[in-house]
C-alpha cells in the first residue's frame, strides 16, 4: 500500500522552491549555479547526485530526474529529448547507462570536456514546415534523390513510388506516380523535361510545362504499341534496325545525370556501365521525341551508386558500391568518354553517395559503415573520418562565404554533425529534435541560406554563422608558430603533428597536413633560416625535415640518434655553414651538418649538462648557448669539448637571444620576469632589468630582437608583451606594454617586411598584430577575413591588464607608541583591605546588609531555576537557540572568604537578643 505525501514536509517545500528558482533562471544561469568548476565536473556531480557514485549505473527514471538535462546540450532538454538521448547512449539496451558510456558518447560527439559551455560554430535553426504539416505526414518510403529546380524555384523529391514537387516553404504542390518503381531522376534543363529511371529498364520523361508524362520512353525492348500497327515489311525493317548487339538498357539503371546545356543523359547500371543518350525531336508521327545512344563505357565493376556533373571542372564523377570513385570527361565533338582518374576506397568499403567541394577540390563520400572519407582531386591523399556511434544517412555542404564551408551530416538516429572543410575539424553534434522522428532524413541539399532535409516530408533549416565565429587555429595544444615572410604564410603546429598554413594577408587557411606518429607527440617545431623547410621533433626522438609549403618529408633523423626524445630544435649558421641543433633525452645537444640533398650528417655531441636542455641559441655565428630545465646555462664552442662559460643568473634562465649590434653581449630571460645583459666571457650579468614591474614572478617566455629596427619584443607567462629599444649609447628604453593573451605567450614571430607580429598563447589562440600601431589585426582560425593593408577590416583588441599583477606591496607602517593602559587611566593605588580600620558597628546597619544580601540571593535562585527549565524544554522552531547565561548575583560580586565571614556574623547577631543600652544605642 503506497503512502501519501505529508503536506507539511519541509524537504518537499524546499525541493519545490528550488525547482521554481530553476524555472525562473536562464540556461546559462542554471549551468553556472550547478556545483563544479569545469563542465565535466558539473556533469560528474550531476551524475553522482542520482546514482551516489560514478561506479553505479543510472536508470531511465533517475536519468529524467537528474540535472543532466541542463548539461548535455546548450539548452534545457525536454523529457522526450532526454529519452531519445538515453536510447542513443544505451548501446547494449540494458536500460542502464554507466559513467564511462556517458563520457564516451559525449566525446564521440565532439563535446568539449574542459569548457564551461558548448558552442556550435554553425547554427541550424528549424524554419519550416509548421507543426500541423508535420503531424499530417506519416512514415514514408526512403527518399532516393532530391534536386532543386532553379527555373521552377521548387524542390523535387523521388521515392520508389512517388515524384513530389515542394515549394521552398516545404508545402507539397503536386505528385506523380507510375506503375513500376522509380530509381533515380534528373532534369534536362535545355528542353525543360525530367528523365526518370525505373526498375523495369525504362527511362520515362515528364514535361515540366504542362506537368504530364510524355508518351515517349527509352526501353530495352520495342514498344508493343508501335509494333502492332506495322505491316510485315515495316516489322522486318524495325527488327533489322534494332541492332540486337547494341540493345540499350540491357541492365537495370541505378543512377543518372544530365548535361545542363544539352539534352544528353548519362545512365549508370548495375554492372558498372555508363550509357550516353542524346534526346532530340523526332520526325516520326508516333512521338515528338526520340533518342540516340551515342556512347557506352565500362567504368566500374559493380552497380553505379551516383553520377554527378562538376561544372567548375567540366567533368563527371561517378561512384560505385565496389568502392571506386571515377572522374571522367565526355567530349561533345567526338562523343568520346575518357576516364581521367579512379580513386579506390582504402578500406574497401562501398561508396553509396558523395558530394563535391569546389573550393578545396575535395570529394567527400559516404559509406554504409561508421565512417566517411575525403579524397582530394589529382592527388593520392585521402582521409577517413570515423563516426563510431552513428551511421551517416546523408550529407551535404553548407557554404557560408567564398572562403569557408562546412560539411553537414545527418545520421540515421536524427543527429546533426558539423565538420569544417577541408580538415574535417568537428564543430559539434546535437540532436535535431522530433521533426523527423518517424522517418529520418535520407536526402539533403543546401541552397542559399537554407538546408533542406527530406524524410517523411521536407523540412527547412536556416543556415547561419554560430556564436563562436570560427574555430581555433589548432584543435590540439599549440607547439609553435612561425611567420614565413618569403611565402606570406603563417605556420602553426600542434602536438598531434597537424601543421596548417594560413594566408598572412587575409588570415584564411590554405591547407594543412598531418605527420602523426604512433605513440608519440610533437615536442618542438622550427623553421629554417631560408624559410623553405621545417623540422618537427617528436617525444620518441624522431625528427622529420619537411617542406614548409607542402609537408613532403625530405629527410628523417631516426630516434636512435637522439636517444629517446627531442626537446628543442634550432636551424642556424655557424661559421657560414648550415647546422641543425637537437637536444635529446640524454641531457646533451646533438649537432648535425645540413648538407646537400636535404640530408643531415652527424657532427658532434655537447655533453655536460645534468638537466634536460629546453632552449638553445647561436651567438655571433660562432658559439652556442644551451639552457637546462632548472639553473644551468652553458656557453659552448664548436671546436672544444667542455663548456667555455657556466653562467649564473638570479633566477632560472628560460630563453636567450643574440644582440646583432653588439660583438660580445647577448640577452637572457629568467623565471622572475627580468632580462639580463651578459658577456660572452663573464659568468654573471653586467646589468639586469625588471621588464614588467609586476608584483608577482612571471617567467620570460619569448624574446625577439628586430634586425631592421632597435626594438626588442619581450613576452611573459601571464600574457604580457613589452616593447623596448636599444639606444645608440647602449641604454634600454621602455616604449609600450600590452596584453595579447590572457594566459602565457608560447612564442612570438615577426615579419619585418610586412610589419606584423604573430603571437601564440596558452589559450590556444593565434593572433596577428600590427607592430606600428600595436593593433590586433585578427585571430587566425576565425571566419572573419581581413585585408592586411586595410585597417577597417581589422578586428580584435588586447586583453585588459589585471591590477592584481601590478599591485604594490603594502608599505611598512612605523609602529606608534601607545601609552600603557595603566598610564592612560589614572587608577588609585591598591588598597589593603586587611589593613583598613573596621567601621563602627551598628545593629541596624548589619541588619540592612543582611536583608539586602538575602533579597539578591533569592532573585538569583529564581533566575537560575527559569534558565534550567527553559533549557530542558524542546525548541519551538528549527532555528538554533543559544543558551541564556544567568545574570550575576550579589553573591558573585563578593569574594567567597568575605561572604562566609558575613554569613557567620549575621547568624550570631540573630541568636543574640538585642540590648540597645548595652551597645549605647538609644531606643527611638
Q: Over 510-528, what HEC string results?
A: EEEEECCCCCCCEEEEEEC
In a domain, 246, yes or no: yes
Is 314 found in the same domain as 191?
yes
Give the per-residue pLDDT at 405. Answer: 81
Determine the average pLDDT of the residues in 229-255. Answer: 64
Is 213 found in the same domain as 106?
no
Is 324 found in the same domain as 246?
yes
Q: Is the confidence at residue 860, as pLDDT, over 80?
A: no
> pLDDT confidence of 469, banded at 50, 70, 90?
very low
Is 298 found in the same domain as 217?
yes
Instruction: Please name which of 561, 510, 571 lies closest in space to residue 538, comparing C-alpha atoms.
Output: 561
Is 59 found in the same domain as 185?
no
Q: What is the pLDDT of residues 897-915, one digit of tens each?
A: 455 566 666 666 665 545 4
Whether a cis peptide bond, with omega within 30° of 0, leads into 645 is no
Is 108 found in the same domain as 185?
no
Higher pLDDT among residues 209 and 104, named by residue: 209
Give the per-residue pLDDT at 1. Answer: 35
CB 616 within 8 A of CB 623: no
Sign of torsion, CA 105 107 113 117?
negative
Higher pLDDT among residues 157 and 230, named by residue: 157
Q: Is the confidence at residue 45, as pLDDT, over 80?
A: yes
Element (H, E) at 173: strand 172-177
Element (H, E) at 291: strand 289-298
> pLDDT confidence of 299, banded at 50, 70, 90?
very high
CB 590 within 8 A of CB 562: yes
3-class secondary structure, 118: coil
Could you tell me whether strands 721-726 and 766-770 are parallel, antiparallel, or unpaired per DSSP bridges?
unpaired
Determine the average pLDDT of the residues in 41-60. Answer: 85
| Other beta carbons within 10 Å of 589 | 24
Sign of torsion, CA 295 299 300 306?
negative
Residues 6 or more apart whose CB falls under 8 angstroms from that of 429 comprise 109, 110, 111, 415, 416, 417, 418
Is 183 found in the same domain as 110?
no
Give the per-residue pLDDT at 586. Answer: 86
Question: All 3 cell numbers of residue 859?
Answer: 532573585
Higher pLDDT among residues 315 and 598, named by residue: 315
| Other beta carbons within 10 Å of 76 | 16
Distance in angstroms (rounded) separating the CA atoms of residues 299 and 319 = 10
Give the per-residue pLDDT at 542. Answer: 92
In a domain, 14, yes or no: no
Element (H, E) at 65: helix 60-65
Give percent above pLDDT 90 in the chain.
Answer: 26
Full residue range of the structural domain in which residue 266 is found: 178-344
Q: Is 575 exposed, middle or buried (0-12, 13-18, 19+ CB in 10 A)?
A: exposed
| Other beta carbons within 10 Å of 299 | 19
Q: What is the mean pLDDT of the chain?
A: 79
CB 618 within 8 A of CB 660: no
Residues 6 or more apart whose CB falls under 8 angstroms from that of 479 comprise 493, 494, 495, 522, 523, 524, 525, 746
The answer to which of 40-44, 603-607, 835-839 has the lowest mean pLDDT is: 835-839
Characterise 719 by phi-psi region: left (phi > 0), alpha (psi -120 to 50), beta (else).
Answer: left
β-bridge mates for residue 453, sequence order: 444, 459
Could you give the C-alpha distances from 438 to 63, 80, 85, 199, in angstroms and in order? 24, 14, 16, 27
Give the per-residue pLDDT at 388. Answer: 65
Is 112 found in the same domain as 184?
no
Task: Give the distance between the most distant pair of CA atoms in the chain.
Answer: 180
Q: Is the confidence at residue 824, as pLDDT, over 80?
A: no
Q: Please report the beta strands in 367-471, taking only residues with DSSP state E, as ranges in sequence order.
A: 371-376, 382-386, 392-401, 404-411, 415-420, 425-431, 443-447, 450-454, 458-465
Higher pLDDT among residues 251 and 554, named by residue: 554
β-bridge mates for residue 394, sequence order: 410
User: Which of 69, 95, 118 is the last residue in one of the domains?
Assistant: 118
The answer to which of 30-44, 201-215, 719-733, 890-904 has the lowest mean pLDDT is: 890-904
Q: Is the confidence at residue 412, as pLDDT, over 50?
A: yes
Question: All 3 cell numbers of residue 698?
Answer: 612571471
The answer to which of 199-203, 246-250, 747-751 has the lowest mean pLDDT is: 246-250
The answer to which of 526-540, 552-566, 899-913 has the lowest mean pLDDT is: 899-913
Query: DSSP of 403-417, one letter per residue?
Result: TEEEEEEEETTSEEE
Half-sphere exposure of 511 (CA within 13 A, CB side): 11
Q: What is the pLDDT of residues 304-358, one digit of tens each?
A: 999 999 988 899 999 999 999 999 999 988 889 999 999 999 988 999 999 998 8
Question: All 3 cell numbers of residue 802?
Answer: 589585471
CB 253 within 8 A of CB 201: yes
Give the per-residue pLDDT at 743. Answer: 85
Higher pLDDT among residues 474 and 762, named by residue: 762
pTM of the entire structure?
A: 0.47
If you count DSSP H runs as helices and E runs as strands, how many of each does the chain have, helices first?
13, 58
In a domain, 646, yes or no: no
Is 314 found in the same domain as 223?
yes
Give the per-residue SS3 of 35-46. Answer: CCCCHHHHHHHH
Q: C-alpha 236: how far from its chain's center?
A: 73
In a domain, 468, yes or no: no
Q: What is the pLDDT of residues 612-624, one digit of tens each?
A: 999 999 999 999 9
Sign of torsion, CA 487 492 495 499?
negative
Question: All 3 cell numbers of residue 389?
Answer: 556511434
Q: Which long-range contacts (CB under 8 A, 24 or more apart) does 42-48 make?
A: 42/71, 43/68, 43/71, 43/102, 43/103, 43/106, 44/99, 46/70, 46/71, 47/99, 47/102
Q: Is the confidence at residue 13, as pLDDT, over 60?
A: no
Of 83-92, 360-369, 725-734, 846-855, give the range with the top mean pLDDT: 360-369
3-class secondary structure, 13: helix
Q: Which long-range contacts (CB under 8 A, 24 or more apart) does 792-796 make?
A: 794/770, 796/767
Number of domains in the chain: 2
The gap between the terminal CA atoms of the chain, to the nearest Å, is: 90
The answer to which of 112-121, 546-555, 746-755 has the lowest mean pLDDT is: 112-121
Determine the average pLDDT of the residues in 822-842. Answer: 60
Give the per-residue pLDDT at 59. Answer: 87
| Other beta carbons within 10 Å of 834 | 5
Distance in angstroms (rounded) separating the CA atoms of residues 457 and 179 = 22
The answer to which of 140-149, 219-228, 287-296, 608-617 has the lowest mean pLDDT is: 219-228
Is 330 found in the same domain as 221?
yes
Distance in angstroms (rounded) separating the CA atoms of residues 739 and 202 = 70
Is 54 found in the same domain as 197?
no
CATH code for the domain of 97: 1.10.238
CB 268 within 8 A of CB 282: no
Give the per-residue pLDDT at 225. Answer: 45
Distance in angstroms (rounded) separating the CA atoms of residues 83 and 64 = 8
In a domain, 335, yes or no: yes
Q: C-alpha 412: how far from its chain's center?
A: 25
The answer to which of 81-95, 250-264, 271-285, 492-506 has the lowest mean pLDDT is: 81-95
Distance in angstroms (rounded) separating the CA atoms of residues 138 and 131 = 13
In a domain, 712, yes or no: no
Q: Is the confidence at residue 827, as pLDDT, over 60?
A: no
Could you give the C-alpha distances from 560 to 380, 403, 815, in angstroms and in order? 31, 44, 67
Distance in angstroms (rounded) separating the CA atoms of residues 480 and 499 = 10
CB 883 within 8 A of CB 877: no
Is 291 found in the same domain as 186?
yes
In a domain, 240, yes or no: yes
User: Which of 118, 138, 155 is the last residue in one of the domains?
Assistant: 118
Could you give the C-alpha distances from 678 to 622, 646, 705, in angstroms and in order? 16, 12, 15
Half-sphere exposure of 628 (CA within 13 A, CB side): 22
Sheet holding 337-344, edge to edge: 304-310, 315-320, 324-330, 337-344
Distance in angstroms (rounded) separating the CA atoms of residues 702 and 761 = 11
Q: Is the confidence at residue 891, as pLDDT, over 70?
A: no
Distance in angstroms (rounded) separating the CA atoms of residues 572 and 262 = 62
User: Which of 77, 95, 118 is the last residue in one of the domains?
Assistant: 118
CATH code for the domain of 233: 2.130.10.10
Distance in angstroms (rounded) separating the CA atoms of residues 579 and 34 = 56
The answer to which of 383-392, 631-640, 706-715, 842-851 has the lowest mean pLDDT is: 842-851
In a domain, 753, yes or no: no
Q: What is the pLDDT of residues 761-772, one digit of tens each?
A: 888 889 999 888
Q: Is the confidence at residue 35, as pLDDT, over 80?
A: yes
Amino acid at each position: 500500500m503506497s503512502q501519501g505525501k505529508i503536506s507539511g514536509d519541509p524537504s518537499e517545500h524546499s525541493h519545490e522552491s528550488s525547482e521554481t528558482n530553476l524555472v525562473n533562471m536562464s540556461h546559462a544561469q542554471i549551468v553556472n549555479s550547478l556545483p563544479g568548476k569545469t563542465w565535466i565536473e558539473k556533469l560528474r556531480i550531476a551524475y553522482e547526485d542520482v546514482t551516489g557514485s560514478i561506479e553505479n549505473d543510472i536508470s531511465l527514471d533517475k536519468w529524467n530526474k537528474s540535472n543532466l538535462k541542463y548539461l548535455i546540450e546548450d539548452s534545457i532538454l525536454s523529457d522526450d529529448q532526454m529519452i531519445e538521448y538515453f536510447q542513443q547512449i544505451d548501446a547494449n539496451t540494458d536500460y542502464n547507462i554507466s559513467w564511462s558510456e556517458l563520457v564516451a558518447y559525449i566525446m564521440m560527439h565532439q563535446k568539449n570536456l574542459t569548457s564551461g559551455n558548448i558552442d556550435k560554430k554553425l547554427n541550424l535553426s528549424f524554419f519550416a514546415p509548421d507543426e500541423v504539416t508535420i503531424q499530417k505526414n506519416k512514415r514514408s518510403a526512403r527518399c532516393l534523390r532530391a534536386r532543386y529546380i532553379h527555373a521552377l524555384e521548387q524542390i523535387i523529391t523521388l521515392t520508389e513510388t512517388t515524384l513530389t514537387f515542394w515549394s521552398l516553404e516545404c508545402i507539397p504542390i503536386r505528385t506523380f506516380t507510375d506503375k513500376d518503381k522509380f530509381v533515380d531522376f534528373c532534369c534536362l534543363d535545355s528542353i525543360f523535361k525530367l528523365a526518370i529511371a525505373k526498375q523495369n529498364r525504362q527511362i520515362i520523361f515528364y514535361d515540366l510545362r504542362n506537368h504530364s508524362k510524355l508518351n515517349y520512353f527509352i526501353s530495352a525492348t520495342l514498344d508493343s504499341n508501335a509494333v502492332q500497327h506495322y505491316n510485315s515489311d515495316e516489322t522486318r525493317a524495325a527488327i533489322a534496325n534494332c541492332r540486337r548487339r547494341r540493345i540499350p538498357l540491357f541492365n537495370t539503371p541505378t543512377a543518372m545525370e544530365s548535361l545542363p546545356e544539352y539534352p544528353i543523359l548519362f545512365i549508370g547500371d548495375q554492372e558498372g556501365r555508363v550509357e550516353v543518350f542524346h534526346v532530340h525531336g523526332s520526325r516520326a508521327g508516333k512521338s515528338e521525341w526520340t533518342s540516340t545512344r551515342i556512347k557506352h563505357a565500362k567504368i566500374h565493376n559493380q552497380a553505379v551508386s551516383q553520377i554527378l556533373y562538376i561544372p567548375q571542372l567540366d567533368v563527371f564523377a561517378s561512384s560505385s558500391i565496389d568502392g571506386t570513385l571515377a572522374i571522367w570527361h565526355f567530349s561533345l565533338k567526338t562523343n568520346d568518354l575518357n576516364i581521367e582518374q579512379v580513386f579506390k576506397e582504402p578500406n574497401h568499403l562501398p561508396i553509396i553517395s558523395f558530394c563535391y567541394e569546389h573550393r578545396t577540390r575535395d570529394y567527400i563520400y559516404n559509406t554504409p559503415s561508421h565512417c566517411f572519407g575525403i579524397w582530394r582531386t589529382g592527388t593520392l591523399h585521402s582521409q577517413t573520418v570515423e563516426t563510431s556511434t552513428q551511421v551517416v544517412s546523408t550529407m551535404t555542404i553548407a557554404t557560408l562565404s567564398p572562403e569557408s564551408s562546412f560539411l553537414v551530416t545527418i545520421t540515421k538516429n536524427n543527429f546533426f554533425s558539423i565538420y569544417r572543410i577541408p580538415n574535417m575539424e568537428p564543430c559539434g553534434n546535437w540532436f535535431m529534435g522530433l521533426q523527423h522522428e518517424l522517418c529520418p532524413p535520407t536526402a539533403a541539399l543546401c541552397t542559399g541560406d537554407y538546408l533542406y532535409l527530406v524524410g517523411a516530408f521536407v523540412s527547412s533549416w536556416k543556415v547561419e554563422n554560430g556564436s563562436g565565429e570560427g574555430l581555433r587555429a589548432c584543435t590540439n595544444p599549440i607547439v609553435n608558430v612561425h611567420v614565413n615572410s618569403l611565402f606570406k604564410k603563417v605556420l602553426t603546429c600542434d602536438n598531434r603533428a597537424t601543421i596548417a598554413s594560413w594566408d598572412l594577408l587575409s588570415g584564411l587557411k590554405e591547407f594543412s597536413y598531418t605527420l602523426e606518429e604512433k605513440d608519440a607527440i610533437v615536442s618542438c617545431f622550427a623553421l629554417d633560416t631560408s624559410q623553405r623547410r621545417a623540422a618537427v621533433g617528436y617525444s620518441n626522438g624522431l625528427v622529420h625535415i619537411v617542406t614548409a609549403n607542402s609537408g613532403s618529408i625530405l629527410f628523417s633523423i631516426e630516434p636512435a640518434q637522439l636517444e629517446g626524445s627531442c626537446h628543442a630544435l634550432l636551424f642556424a649558421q655557424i661559421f657560414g655553414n648550415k647546422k641543425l641543433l637537437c637536444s635529446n633525452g640524454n641531457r646533451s645537444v646533438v649537432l648535425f651538418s645540413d648538407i646537400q640533398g636535404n640530408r643531415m650528417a652527424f657532427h658532434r655531441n655537447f655533453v655536460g649538462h645534468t638537466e634536460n636542455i629546453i632552449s638553445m641559441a647561436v651567438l655571433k655565428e660562432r658559439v652556442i648557448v644551451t639552457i637546462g630545465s632548472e639553473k644551468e646555462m652553458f656557453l659552448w664552442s664548436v671546436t672544444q669539448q667542455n663548456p667555455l662559460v657556466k653562467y649564473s643568473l638570479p633566477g632560472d634562465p628560460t630563453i636567450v637571444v643574440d644582440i646583432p649590434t653588439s660583438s660580445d653581449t647577448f640577452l637572457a630571460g629568467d623565471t622572475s620576469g627580468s632580462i639580463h645583459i651578459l658577456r660572452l666571457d663573464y659568468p654573471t650579468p653586467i646589468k639586469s632589468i625588471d621588464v614588467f614591474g609586476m608584483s608577482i614572478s612571471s617567467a620570460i617566455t619569448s624574446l625577439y630582437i628586430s634586425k631592421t629596427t632597435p626594438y626588442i619584443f619581450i613576452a611573459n607567462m601571464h600574457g604580457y608583451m613589452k616593447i623596448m629599444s636599444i639606444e645608440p649609447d647602449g641604454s634600454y628604453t621602455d616604449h609600450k606594454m600590452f596584453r595579447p593573451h590572457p594566459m602565457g605567450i608560447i612564442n612570438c614571430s615577426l615579419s619585418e617586411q610586412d610589419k606584423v607580429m604573430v603571437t601564440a598563447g596558452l589559450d590556444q589562440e593565434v593572433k596577428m598584430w600590427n607592430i606600428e600601431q600595436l593593433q590586433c589585426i585578427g585571430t587566425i582560425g576565425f571566419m572573419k577575413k581581413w585585408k592586411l593593408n586595410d585597417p577597417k577590416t581589422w578586428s580584435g583588441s588586447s586583453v585588459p591588464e589585471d591590477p592584481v599583477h601590478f599591485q604594490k606591496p603594502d608599505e611598512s607602517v612605523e609602529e606608534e607608541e601607545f601609552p600603557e593602559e595603566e598610564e592612560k587611566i589614572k587608577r588609585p593605588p591598591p588598597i589593603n583591605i586587611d589593613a583598613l580600620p573596621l567601621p563602627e558597628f551598628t545593629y541596624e546597619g548589619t541588619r540592612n546588609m543582611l536583608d539586602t544580601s538575602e533579597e539578591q540571593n533569592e532573585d538569583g535562585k529564581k533566575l537560575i531555576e527559569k534558565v534550567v527549565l527553559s533549557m530542558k524544554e524542546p525548541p519551538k522552531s528549527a532555528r538554533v537557540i543559544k543558551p541564556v547565561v544567568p545574570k550575576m548575583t550579589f553573591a558573585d560580586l563578593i569574594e567567597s572568604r568575605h561572604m562566609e565571614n558575613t554569613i557567620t556574623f549575621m547568624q550570631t547577631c540573630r541568636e543574640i537578643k538585642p540590648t540597645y543600652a548595652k551597645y549605647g544605642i538609644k531606643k527611638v
